[in-house]
Structure 1
Amino acid sequence: MADGPSPPPRAADQEEVTHRLERLISALPTKADLSDMVADLRENFGREVREIRTEVSALSTRVGALEEVAQRPPPEMTTTSPTAFSELQRRVDDLDNRGRRHNIRVRGLLEVEGPEDLRAILTELFNHILNRKLDTPIHIDRAHRALRPQPPPTAPPRDVICHLTEFALKESIMLKARSSRQWDFHQCSIELYQDLSPFTLAARRCLQPVTQALRRANLPYRWGFPFTLLALNNGVRHTICYPTDVPAFLEALELPEVSVRSWEDTARPRPDLPRPRRRRSRRRGRASPDRALARELSPPHSPHHADV
């Protein structure tokens, strides 16, 4: 059955469509509305740009001030800074020496070619000093030579530094070792010292003129920790802790003036560590099996034979 022609639209529907179109058209922004929107956008963007410019200007000012401060020479140290640094250095040096309390430095022990059993040698040496059986066990945690290259045969041997587990035994050895400056052991003249930090050794070397003056005046003295030189005179104890204490110390003990270097300005000596040896490649100088076989099979080269 064929479809018939569509019925004509009703007047009510046409009016409804017309009203909807009118409402849509009336809801569209006008030219004035678009102008207001563009003006608002310009104002907002302009305000944000001005804020960014203000922040960038402030950052530029701060960076310029920092660059100016960085280009200035460093300010001179105040009078309290050297004292604070000196006290810190003494404390660090004291910690270093406390870590060496169990150590003994043995000087004069000849070096031998190849590996040496330092624990066995030191055990025999310490038992010899203590007048005990040479095979009496002594617990030695570690023992090694001073960390520097091995000297030539004509130079003195390197010191041996060892760490004993028992502090009381270490003190007994050092107390007995003080009864004699040198000990004959295995045809060597052995000396025993307390292992001290490089800073303490440098400071004691700087104060040698003072200790020599004390010995000439028969005034007893001893070393203290943190680094201190103590002397007793008429029941009064006098001390040197800093280089600035030397003049008052000499005046109080009525000793002649001596020249003493400042041990705080002395640079700490760096240990001469042995340079690592370069390992040679095992492949260098070795021919591969294929090349060796080719050389064996190839005929001997002779000027009478032409190269093929």
Structure 2
Amino acid sequence: MKKAQKGATQGSSQRTPMTRKENEINKFFNKPSPTQATDSDSNMADDDQEGVYSSRPQPPSSPTVLAPLAPDLSALIAALPQKADLTRLLDDIKEAQKRETAEIKRELAAMTTRIDGLEEMQDAENRSRGNNVRIRGIPEEIPQADLKPTLMALFNNLLEQDQDTAITIERLHRVAGNRTGRVRDVLCCLHNFTMKEQILRREAKIVQLKGDTIEIYQDLAHSPVYQRCLLREVTSLLKASNINYKWGFPFALLATQNGKTYSLKDPTDAPLFFNNLGLPCVDLQEWGRFVYTEDNATMGRPKAPDT
């Protein structure tokens, strides 16, 4: 009885399976076979790589990223201008430039024609006054009927001739308008151009007539007369520097120094003009505005300053 129980105990001990704890402990002591180790390592590597790639962001060029953008990119590429579109755009720009250039050329041609016409009109007006002289200072008390003998006596006095010397005067009259406190000028047309030049060449163009100061000038169109008024500061500087000057036709200021003559015809000539004469430059902005503004180009007549 006891033997049977003892044998049974031994047999049962041999067939009793390992407990779970023993199995877990044996894993640390049992060396796995090479095949199992290789399989295990490869599985771990695959698992690790899969985890790394799953957590790492995909590059922009990967198919998974480009897939949803493909329709948008196609639409953008299709919307880009093609070579034909660029060619048409370039042709349109060229045509627009040609039209604008042609319009500018037409405007310049019209302005050139207009300016040429105005210059011809001014030249004709000045030439029509070639024999005229303007006398300033003759009292208003002298009636129209007495103006002719008064002027003949004045001219003979300037030319140092006998008072009875005949001088042919074609016409004369006082100018229209009356400046406040100033007598009106008298315009006189002489028949002899040479005599007119002799009168204007006299140095004493300011004379006394019965106690009145009389001034004699060449009769010109409004534009050159007004420009002379604007250059009064320049002429005063020339007088103070003892530099001889005269007016040219149709308009120019001619100054002579050391046998050389320098001309001032346009505001752009001013720097060289003053430099050659050794004089300080005078501000001529007002003259420049008159010469280059549209008012003068359209024969506008600003009020001339008192002289």
TM, length-normalised to structure 2: 0.52
Query: 8 Å contact 1:221–1:230 — kept in the other structure?
Result: yes
Residues 92-123 of structure 1, C-alpha deviations (whole Å, 9 max, x = no match): 43332222121111111111386533222222
Provide the residue aligned with 1:221 in structure 2: 245
In structure 2, do the counterparts of structure 1 residues 104 and 95 end up closer, same or farther at CA, with 3 Å as the change threshold?
Answer: same
2:126 equivalent to 1:97: yes
Q: Which runs of 5+ in 1 are unaligned?
A: 1-68, 272-308
Residues 114-161 of structure 1, C-alpha deviations (whole Å, 9 max, x = no match): 653322222232233334343433211110001115x67xx2211111
In structure 2, do the counterparts of structure 1 residues 120 and 217 end up closer, same or farther at CA, with 3 Å as the change threshold?
Answer: closer
1:171 is displaced (CA, Å) by 2.4
In structure 2, do the counterparts of structure 1 residues 250 and 124 end up closer, same or farther at CA, with 3 Å as the change threshold?
Answer: closer
2:223 equivalent to 1:199: yes
In structure 2, C-alpha distance between the alignment counterparts of 1:75 and 1:115, rounded to whole Å: 54
Alignment of 1:212-251 (within 5 A): 212-233=236-257, 236-251=260-275
In structure 1, C-alpha distance between the alignment counterparts of 2:116 and 2:227, rounded to whole Å: 14
In structure 2, do the counterparts of structure 1 residues 203 and 91 end up closer, same or farther at CA, with 3 Å as the change threshold?
Answer: farther
1:269 is displaced (CA, Å) by 2.8
Match of 1:120 among 142, 149, 152: 149
In structure 2, do the counterparts of structure 1 residues 252 and 95 end up closer, same or farther at CA, with 3 Å as the change threshold?
Answer: same
Task: State the secondary structure of the residue aligned to 1:116.
Answer: helix
Computing the radius of gyration over CA atoms, which structure comes out larger, 1 or 2?
2
Residue type matched to 2:187 in 1?
Answer: I
Match of 2:301 among 269, 275, 280: 269
In structure 2, C-alpha distance between the alignment counterparts of 1:253 and 1:164, rounded to whole Å: 36
1:207 is displaced (CA, Å) by 2.3
1:167 is displaced (CA, Å) by 1.4
Residue type matched to 2:193 in 1?
Answer: F
Provide the residue aligned with 1:132 in structure 2: 161
Query: 8 Å contact 2:144–2:173 — kept in the other structure?
Result: no
Task: State the secondary structure of the residue aligned to 2:238.
Answer: helix
In structure 2, C-alpha distance between the alignment counterparts of 1:158 and 1:229, rounded to whole Å: 26
In structure 2, C-alpha distance between the alignment counterparts of 1:84 and 1:255, rounded to whole Å: 38
Residues 194-221 of structure 1, C-alpha deviations (whole Å, 9 max, x = no match): 1122111111222233333434444433
In structure 2, do the counterparts of structure 1 residues 215 and 116 end up closer, same or farther at CA, with 3 Å as the change threshold?
Answer: same
Residues 77-103 of structure 1, C-alpha deviations (whole Å, 9 max, x = no match): 989998887676555433322221211
Query: 8 Å contact 1:220–1:232 — kept in the other structure?
Result: yes
1:191 is displaced (CA, Å) by 1.8
In structure 2, do the counterparts of structure 1 residues 105 and 243 end up closer, same or farther at CA, with 3 Å as the change threshold?
Answer: same
In structure 2, C-alpha distance between the alignment counterparts of 1:129 and 1:236, rounded to whole Å: 29
Instruction: Report sequence identity in percent.
Output: 34
1:173 is displaced (CA, Å) by 2.7
In structure 2, C-alpha distance between the alignment counterparts of 1:83 and 1:231, rounded to whole Å: 31
2:250 equivalent to 1:211: no
1:247 is displaced (CA, Å) by 2.6
In structure 2, C-alpha distance between the alignment counterparts of 1:77 and 1:253, rounded to whole Å: 42
Q: Which runs of 5+ in 2 are unaligned?
A: 1-98
1:224 is displaced (CA, Å) by 1.4
Provide the residue aligned with 1:159 in structure 2: 185
In structure 2, C-alpha distance between the alignment counterparts of 1:231 and 1:77, rounded to whole Å: 40
Higher normalized helix content (fraction of residues): 2
1:257 is displaced (CA, Å) by 2.6
Q: Which structure carries more relative contact order (alpha carbon 8 Å, separation 6+)?
A: 1
Provide the residue aligned with 1:28 in structure 2: none
